[in-house]
Amino acid sequence: MPVRAPQGALPGEHVHGLTRAGDGTILLATHDGAYRGTPGGWEKVSPSVDLMGFVAVGPTLYASGHPGQGSDLPNPVGLLQSTDQGKTWTSMSRAGESDFHALGAGKGLIAGFDGRLRISTDAKSWTDVQIPAAPFGLAVSPDGTRIIATTRQGALTSTDRGATWAEASGTQPALAGFASDGMVYGLASDGALTASHDGGTTWAATGVTVSQPVAFAVTASGEILVATAQGVVSSTDGGKTTHPA
C-alpha cells in the first residue's frame, strides 16, 4: 500500500521532480538531493546534489544538475542514474559537459535539453537534434517511440526521435507525463490538469486545478503526482479528482 506523503512544507530549496517508489513512498528530487516521504516527515536519502530533470523509468531514476558540497561528482554532473531509489547516483555520460534541465526517458530512448536538445539510445552517446522552440519539459513514451516537448509556444510531439515536430492542440500543458504509450497527462501553467488520449496530439482540461504546483509526474501505473506548496497530491482517476498522496 502507498505510504501517505507528509503534507505541509516541502524539503529542500526547490523541488524539481517526484515519483512513487516501489515501496509506496514518495521520492522528491530537490536542489539538495533526494528525499523520501515517511510517516514522520521527509527523510533525506542521498548525498547533496541538485537533481534537475528528474525522471523515473520503472525502478531506474535519471537526473542531471550540479554536485553539492562534499560530493565527488563532476560539475555539471551530466546524466545521472540511480538504481537504489535515489540513495546513490552514477554519472553515465556527459560528465562535466551537460546540466540537463529537462529530461525524458522511455524504452531505449532518452531526451535531454542543456541548451541543445540531445537524444541517446544507450545513456552514453548522444545526437543533437533540432527543435522549433526551447523545451522546459520533456516526456518520452514508455515504448520510446514518441517525445513530447512543452515550450512557451505550446506542446510539440515527435514520432521520429526529434527529426520532425508537430504542434499540439487544445489546453496546452506546461509539463507532461505518459501513463501509457497513448495516454498522457499534463499540468497547465495555471495548475489545471490536462489529458491527451492520442499521445499528446490533442489536449483537454480534466476539470481539476491544483493550487501552487511546483513539480509534476505521472507514474507507470497512471497515477498523477503534483508537489505543491501544501504537500503532494495524487490523482488515480485520470485527473478527475485529487487527494493527499
174-221 per-position pLDDT tens digit: 999 999 999 999 999 999 999 999 999 999 999 999 999 999 999 999
Mean pLDDT of 221-229: 96
- Give me the pLDDT at residue 12, please: 66
Provide the residue count of the chain. Answer: 245
Q: How confident is the model at residue 69 (pLDDT cuts 50, 70, 90)?
A: confident
Cell of 40: 514522520
Mean pLDDT of 41-59: 95
Distance CA 110, CA 122 (A): 8
Taken in order of first residue, the domains within the chain and their CATH numbers are: 15-244 (2.130.10.10)
DSSP assigned state of 32: T
- Give me the pLDDT at residue 40, please: 86
Mean pLDDT of 130-140: 97
CA contacts within 13 A on the Cβ side of 134: 7
- Beta partners for residue 154, in sequence order: 151
* Cis-peptide into 76, omega within 30 deg: yes
Q: Is the pLDDT of residue 224 over 70?
A: yes
Identify which has the larger pLDDT, 11 or 202: 202
